[in-house]
Chains A and B, each alone.
Chain A
Amino acid sequence: MRPFTYERPTDVAAAVRAVAATPGAKFLAGGTNLLDLMKLDIEQPTHLVDVNRLPLSGIEDTPQGGLRIGSMVSNSHLAADARVRSRYAVLTQAIVSGGSGQLRNKATTGGNLLQRTRCAYFYDPSKPCNKRQPGSGCSAMEGLNRNSAILGASDACIATNPSDMAVALTALGASLEAVTADGATRTLAVADLHRLPGDTPHLETNLAAGDLITAVILPPAPPGGQIYRKARDRASYAGGLASVAVVGHQVAFGAVAHKPWRAEKTEAALAAGASALEAAHAELAGAHDNGKNGFKIALVARMTADALEQASQGRGA
């Protein structure tokens, strides 16, 4: 077998040091994605630093009126938190639309942000994939790409980010805190966490090697309705064909790009008085159809227009 070592520190500094000290080390949180990828020999860590004993499982009110969510808060706990449900309904809706109950019990806030694409070719080591093996090619580009990106993709990769939670966080304008390898704390907008694929689709985030996400910070909820709408092939436990998060006048798309997609052009068009449908199309003007994924363009437009209309009436989904 491919051997790896394992440790389970109890404080953040030790965890960060442990990963920094070992080339090829990775943090292990819920393991709902990493362990699957290790079994398929796609992720090949030499050392696992289990962060489940770190004191990062609290949800606290911030002085600004938002929430500070520890990165080890499980998806189930976060979705069920009374403050989240009352003030950030879009986040609860997004989380419970992802995975299954069992997965959400294990999956963590930090881990959810770092899950990898569900592109079928990424999970099939018999096929070329620039994300899995840089330079080998993209099998999805000319292949069965019904689930692929329509926004912001490159010639190297048309994979999507599969997170539902991150789409809601992006619409909410959330940020995250990470502890770097040298022990410093850095802050980053969730919208800036993920990268577009460009020529380096194997590099998925703007975190540096060894950075550990310790918290997600929610700003005070803006006024207006909140809605998360996800279209999928079956009613549960299925990746999104597309999703839309609306928070007042803030809009983000999911399952359409390599990152949760803040729809700034839609927001600007709305501010300029466009109709909901026109505003949705403003963001989608540059969307691309690789053969099987083109339906997502109309799907996102319709979902966005509908969600904006519902939110403007102060309704949830």
Chain B
Amino acid sequence: MSSVKDWAAPNPVTENRGGIIGKGVDRYEGKLKVTGTAAYAYEVEPPSPPAYGYLLAATIAKGRITAIDTAAAEASPGVKLVWTHLNVPKQARRGERINPRSQRPSNPALAGDRIEFFGQPVAFVAADTWENARAAANLIQVSYAAEPAVLDFRASLELAEMPHGEEDVLIGDFEGAYAKAPAQIDETYFSPLQNHVQMEPCATTAWWEGDKVTVHTSIQMVKGGQHSLAETLAIPSEKVHLLTRYIGGGFGGKGQAYDDLVLAALGAQALGQPVKLAYTRQQMFQATIHRPAVSMRVRLGAEPDGRLNAFAVEAVTHCARSAPFVEHAANFSRNLYAAPNRLTGHRLVKMDIPHAGAMRAPGEAPGMLSLECAMDELAEKLGIDPIELRLRNEPDVDPETGKPFSIRQLTECLNTGAQRFGWNRRNPKPGQVRDGRWLVGMGMAAAIRGNFLLPAKAGVRIDGTGIITLRQGMTDIGTGTYTILAQITAETMGVTMDQVKIELGDSEFPPAPGSGGQFGAATAGSAAFEANMNLRRALAELAIGDPNSPLYGGDPTYVTFGNGNIAIENRSESLATLVSRAAPEGVYVEGAISPAADARDYSQHTYGGHFAEVGVDTVTGEVRMRRMFGVFAAGRILNAKTAKSQVTGGMIWGVGTALTEANVVDNRYGSFINQDMSGYLVPTHADIVDLDAIFLDEADDKANPMGIKGVGELGICGAGAAVANAIYNACGVRLRDFPMTPDKVLEGLMAKGL
């Protein structure tokens, strides 16, 4: 096992800060996407004409199917099959595993008469066209025996219990220190249930060849999908060939397989023809996972100079009764600010609504909305600038574990951002800046998000034309993975981008953990780097051992790669010449990365600072963004353009979180009120007027050999809190209930006599 010390050794990437890595290279697959020729899962052309599936969803929250009449559907034009729990082919029981090293258990569809949430699929129809399948599905009559259900989170907080296997983290004596603190904040913040709203819905195209099934599906984790389907069908993993080449957004919502995967596979098997099945937009809202609502109590006890002495962040959240999931909304606070007496923990309400699950920066995204607003409230109470308050609580070591930081540039992010944004123009007294009917204000918040490295492999091959092809069972969910892997390969091998091919999203490629938790770039990228380093060694040996090579007999430690050539000082030849002569069948090697044995000796995170300026319409309570700026420190940046796109996308999501994005359960039905994009409001272009972000120069040599870290989730962390704090600074209305829609702001304005 490697050590972080090994990673600090010089290598071709870290030695060269002027190469292709870091440049704002255009997307590798960008042309395919903008020309509509990148085939997403539903659009993949199967080997023969497909049948089209449609799912019928339950219309109660909890209970049992008492009767289900499919006669009319079966007689409907074009229908090929109709399945319910009564006649669906046999699948493994939920949770079973038969294959060795399987990452996911069986997840059967239509598995019984129990209804666990509104929108749960209860029937599957396949027909000659999608329209015929849908029309037939709507003819199915389902009778239910409904049972009492827990549907209202805010009314059910007393049901909250300690999550299984967890306990609160207690350091020092929080209660005692808080009671004696000269300045106290004790507030509860609420963040709502949110949906991912990926542009591409969950979808699968499936067909069989003999006893092997091929599935093109939209999923963030290749192995997870492959293993889940194999277990559900009770077949060996290698009998499932899963492909996911292009993904139209995941955000955590596609970290798992849904019923489209298994029903398309089973349907294709039963019909002996390919099957396509996708969730509708409404089903995406109602029947996939969501970010749960969070109620967060924050208590801060501080000295008059702002130093925190007592610090408590307690989260209450929810999940589906049958699918345990904890939104760890308090975890981030364990590493952020110094305070000797600490209490953090989570409680969970089990409910009868769809499954709660991971959504972009699970934990931080809702959690930071509370503490970063509470810090603003404390700053005002003490008459200290909110940035200064944070600087006074900057820890020297991790405040919970005492471990050293791998690198921590939070203060640099805040100071740089303040300067670039013009924070000194902020009037600390709220409600002082008018622009016509608008009140204008500024707010800020810190950002923190953990950094992770998971085990991964990659394979790389060079052929006789000098083309280098990197293959990895990795996904690109729109983040830029193809592009950064191409940059890493080109830089490491000393070739241009057009000499590199990247092939991803295939269960038969060397495995990578996929996209999630902002671990994708560092994990997949490091494995790709290792594979390329192995290719360098293999090619060096090839050249040195080949009497026809100008490098013959040279010292391998002096071999360099550049301009498409392999060289020792002034002796060189092109990679194509070498390979076509000495290894005409090409050279293929693999590489792997895994966490360093001593990686956990460091507290390792990415950091940032958010700065927002808003206008509040004093007549209507509408809030409109004026400016937003973010400064981030996230290791070495692989691609200036795709990385910035990630963090600004996160910031925009933060704007949506602060102002518009929420779903609400209709407590009579257990369904969500918003089930399309005209009801669930994400920001439009007009909402984002002037938004920008920069990265600080950084390389984290404790992270991996290239010193890179994740950026996919950092941008959303704290962003909504900066907007909320700006609303307060603008108009003096302190809301603690996200999102801050005009009705809530207006009520606050009127309460102030405005």
Contact = CB atoms under 8 A, between A and B. Distances in A.
Interface of A: 1-2, 41, 100, 118, 120, 123-124, 126-127, 139, 142-144, 146, 229, 231-239, 241, 295, 298-299, 302-303, 306
Interface residues of B, number: 41
B425 interface: no
B35 interface: no
A100 B131 CA distance: 28
B620 A231 contact: yes
Contact of B681 (A118, A127, A143, A238): A238
A93 to B, nearest CB: 15
Given A241-B742, A295-B743, A306 B664 contact: no
Contacts of A236: 684-687
Contacts of A233: 659-660, 681, 741-742
B602 interface: no
A124 B659 contact: no
A126 B671 contact: yes
Nearest to B656: A234
A313 to B, nearest CB: 13
A1 B622 contact: no
> Secondary structure at chain B's binding surface: helix, strand, loop or mixed?
loop
Given A100-B684, A298-B750, 9 more contacts: A120-B673, A126-B671, A143-B673, A146-B743, A232-B622, A233-B659, A235-B687, A237-B686, A303-B620
The listed residue with most A CB atoms (<10 A of its CB), out of B437, B617, B619, B659, is B619
Interface string B40-61: 0000000000000000000100
Given A120-B673, A236-B684, A299-B620, A143 B135 contact: no
Contacts of A100: 684
A239 B678 contact: yes
17 contacts: A1-B134, A41-B138, A118-B678, A120-B675, A143-B668, A144-B673, A229-B619, A231-B620, A231-B622, A232-B622, A232-B742, A233-B659, A233-B742, A236-B687, A299-B742, A299-B746, A306-B619
Interface in B624-674: 624, 659-660, 664, 666, 668-669, 671, 673-674
A295 B746 contact: yes
A117 B110 CA distance: 35
B288 interface: no
A299 B671 CA distance: 29
A237 B684 contact: yes
Contacts of B746: 295, 298-299, 302
B412 interface: no
B131 A235 contact: no
B132 to A, nearest CB: 6
A124 B132 contact: no
The listed residue with most B CB atoms (<10 A of its CB), out of A41, A118, A234, A295, is A234
A144 to B, nearest CB: 4
A192 B678 CA distance: 28
B118 to A, nearest CB: 8
Interface string B124-151: 0000010110110010000000000000
A184 to B, nearest CB: 37
Contacts of A241: 620, 742-743
A303 B676 CA distance: 29
Closest 4 pairs between A and B when the two form their complex, measured CB to CB = A1-B131, A236-B686, A235-B686, A295-B743
Contacts of B624: 235
Contacts of B742: 231-233, 241, 295, 299
Contacts of A143: 666, 668, 673
A123 B676 CA distance: 10
Contacts of B131: 1
A303 B617 CA distance: 11
